[in-house]
Structure 1
């Protein structure tokens, strides 16, 4: 028989943090309709170089942006006091619903890839603006995901790639739009159509493709489910109140 602390910890562990700034569906749809459309006949990005987007800058103390996101979106993350590097923890990748306990198995994904941003308007930005974009922790731009899934995504837009977990498409599309809107970036017709289709499957407030109206944690129902931080607390309280009945 497992102890009460273990049961509560196991319940809370089902909840995974998500980046801030994921908009409600109606806000994302309105934002998408206002994004400028760019004509393109090629997927190449002339002049692009990843070095033009300085990333993983210092966030606070010895911690850079990557290390900050690993702690922000992980569970029970332990870090090296000197380097701030994660030494232990658990991370749930919403793109494929896989859980990892080794930091080497995860990457930090830029929701809108740097090269896509370059082709969408960042080619006219200053280096300081591009650095801000590459290290944006105020919006839904940086996500902890399975490393090989991130590599498979590469610099592809939603018309060319989307997460294998269909239940995450709604949040993925809303996050993509939020980033493009915040940074005044354009979309292609194909990109816009794909985003409209992905948001067409949203069921705000619950349901099979569920999200929460405020953009909380979502999933396909295996592991992540529809629970945001509030749900985790409520379920934990339920365990405390009803554990006696279960064990009795």
Structure 2
């Protein structure tokens, strides 16, 4: 279970992705939202989860939506690189380095990175994606429209995380806890996904140690 202790209020990023500028949320929920972490948790709709019918293949991964030769995985690697990799034919990437904020480590080999869905595909299915069209699930799986829906992280912590929610897993790096909580909630609000009771309880425990942390999100189109 998650403890709310020792959570830094600093939500600055450890990688190269910029944070979106804060803006006021609108009543229809379609414009950018900037909410205090504790208020953002209150915005989550609480509901029971069901994994019935889930198959990973129901989410089409790593498409090239803009047809520039770089699929979603490579787009995230390019966006988050601390040291930019060389980009060759067919978007082959060589060199470069990345900062994995889950474990606060620098990684100099893209093969040792996963592109993590902050809210895992199975968790998204449990929380509302089971009712989506295949096209909508593909959009979710390749979401480049938000800064923090997808993150490049070390293989180890991501494989340990698996399909777990914040009641079951949090990043091992001490300074990652509040960042991860805000990323998680932002993704859920962006895609109008629900949360179960244990998940909300864990997020509230974390938020208690996060000071004035802010959740920034834009509703998915």
Same structural fold, with TM-score higher than 0.5 when normalized by the shorter chain: yes
Q: What's the C-alpha RMSD, in Å, of the aligned pairs?
A: 2.3
Query: Residue 188 in 1 paired to residue 196 in 2?
Result: yes
1:183-242 per-residue CA deviation (whole Å, 9 max, x = no partner) reads 1111011100111111221134xxxxxx6x687xxxxxxxxxxxxxxxxxxxxxxxxxxx
Gaps of 5+ in 2: 1-12, 23-32, 217-221
Query: In the alignment, is residue 77 of structure 1 matched against residue 91 of structure 2?
Result: no
Higher relative CO (CA 8 A, sep ≥ 6), structure 1 or 2? 2
Residue matched to 1:198? 206
Query: Which structure carries more helix by proportion?
Result: 1
**Which residue pairs with 2:51 in the alignment?**
45
SS in 2 for 1:92: strand
Change (3 A) 1:214 1:178: closer
* TM score, norm. by length of structure 2: 0.79
Task: Give the TM-score, by structure 1 length.
Answer: 0.71
Change (3 A) 1:158 1:145: same
Which structure is larger by alpha-carbon Rg, 1 or 2? Answer: 1
Runs of 4+ off more than 3 Å: 18-28
* Residue in structure 2 matched with residue 17 of structure 1 by the alignment: 16
Q: 2:100 aligned with 1:93, yes or no?
A: yes
Question: Corresponding residue for 1:36?
Answer: 45
CA distance in structure 1 between the partners assigned to 2:89 and 2:112 by the alignment: 22
Q: Tell me the CA shift for residue 55 of structure 1.
A: 1.4
Aligned residues: 192
CA distance 1:192–1:214, change in 2 (3 Å):
closer
Rounded Cα–Cα distance in structure 1 between residues aligned with 2:21 and 2:178: 10
Aligned-partner Cα distance in 2 for 1:189–1:112: 16
